[in-house]
Amino acid sequence: MRPLLKWAGGKRRLVEKILGLLPRSDERSYHEPFVGGGAVFFNLEPTRSSINDINHRLMNFYRVVRDSPDELIEVASQYRYEKEEYYERRSRFNEMPEDPVEDAGLLLYLNKTGYNGLYRVNSKGLFNVPFGRYKDPRIVNVEMIHHASRLLRGVNIVNTDFGYILNEAEAGDQCYLDPPYVPVSKTASFVDYSVGGFKETDQERLRDICVRLDEMDVTFVQSNSDTELIKSLYKDTGFNIIPLRTSRLISSKVSSRASGYEVLITNSQV
């Protein structure tokens, strides 16, 4: 199925390539430590799985879809696509509602009606995406929510750092890792930059985790940008680095769609 939410860095266009490296098998568990909109997860529809993201509002949303789909549909169906209402609902979302269903309903609404479906917060953690211009956007897709709910039934929904994967994955399992990318720039080297809170040290940690997964006999595919940093981090690992020519939406402005290179890093033998 298609993802329930739009998400920056969504991988819909790379799904076929990624799945080609992860042979289908009901005996293996599938894990996605940076799930975001979950384009690969929803396309694969795995029977045994874990999904994780550091964004707790997002993981609450998936838990509510799994456990309370009808309540979510009821709540979100009351919301209308209208500018004034958008800003009221956005303020309510920023009050951090205690009711998980209300929180999930608001996230769904803001995702479908906010500018470009972005999820962006300011330094105080407040969601600050402006109203988006759409032609009659569909906020609640009842069939998709029910389908996703069934799909998520057997799924371990985790909300922590991606390092959880070392405790979760077992020999023979499969894993797709889609971290926030290293920015593509001429100066991208071993300097201490940070993007969206994901630092160079996190990229190093991720490399070490891939090495460990390989030792544990877990098949992994990771996507990242084709930069000097990534090349130097992986040069001694023996992993397969597959270059891809793609364009990636890196910001809300069409003019800044980076047309460049991405890589898939994998230990898959396929």
Ligand X SMILES: C[S@@+](CC[C@H](N)C(=O)[O-])C[C@H]1O[C@@H](n2cnc3c(N)ncnc32)[C@H](O)[C@@H]1O
Question: Which H/E stretch holds residue 265?
Answer: strand 258-266
Find the binder of ligand X among 54, 166, 242, 250 (CB under 6 A): 54
Q: For residues 93 and 162, which CB has a smaller minimum distance to ligand X in the complex?
A: 162
103 by Cβ neighbours in 10 Å (0-12 / 13-18 / 19+) ranks as: buried
Tell me: does residue 7 bind ligand X (CB under 6 A): yes
Using an 8 Å Cβ cutoff, are 196 and 241 in contact? no
Footprint (CB under 6 A) of ligand X, residues 156-175: 161-162
Which residues does 156 contact at the CB level (< 8 Å), separation at least 6? 49, 50, 51, 168
- Contact pick of 18, 28, 29, 34 for ligand X (by CB under 6 A): 34
Q: Does 114 bind ligand X (CB under 6 A)?
A: no
> Is the four-CA dihedral 150, 153, 159, 165 of positive or negative sign?
negative
Please state, in angstroms and as integers, the Cα–Cα distance from residue 51 to each residue in 21, 55, 78, 124, 128, following that order. 19, 12, 29, 27, 26
Residue 178 near ligand X by CB under 6 A: yes
Q: Three-state SS for 235?
A: coil
Q: Which stretch binds ligand X (CB under 6 A): 37-45, 96-104, 240-248, 262-270?
A: 37-45
Least distance from C-beta 82 to ligand X, angstroms?
27
Alpha-carbon 135 to chain mean position: 26
Our finding on whether 55 is near ligand X (CB under 6 A) is yes
Report the Cα 37 to chain-centroid distance in Å. 5
Does position 93 interact with ligand X (CB under 6 A)? The reply is no
Nearest Cα to Cα of residue 183 among 175, 168, 193: 193
HSE, side-chain direction, 13 A CA sphere, residue 33: 24
Judged by CB under 6 A, the stretch of 30-38, 142-150, 187-195, 210-218 that binds ligand X is 30-38
Q: Closest approach of Cβ 24 to ligand X, in Å?
A: 19
Q: How many chain residues bind ligand X (CB under 6 A)? A: 21
Residue 36 CB, nearest distance to ligand X (Å)?
3
The amino acid occupying position 262 is E
Assess 70 for contact with ligand X (CB under 6 A): no
The nearer residue to ligand X, 53 or 173, going by C-beta atoms, is: 53
Least distance between ligand X and beta carbon 29 (Å): 18
Contact flag: residue 11 with ligand X (CB under 6 A): yes
Residue 85 or 202: the one with the smaller Cβ distance to ligand X is 202
- Residue 105 touching ligand X (CB under 6 A): no
Q: Which long-range contacts (CB under 8 A, 24 or more apart) does 194-202 make?
A: 200/229
Report, in Å, the least distance between residue 203 CB and ligand X: 11
- Closer CB to ligand X, 18 or 75, in the complex: 18
When the beta carbons of 37 and 132 are compared against ligand X, the nearer one is 37
DSSP-assigned letter for residue 114 = B
Residues binding ligand X (CB under 6 A): 7, 9-11, 33-34, 36-39, 52-55, 161-162, 178-180, 198, 202
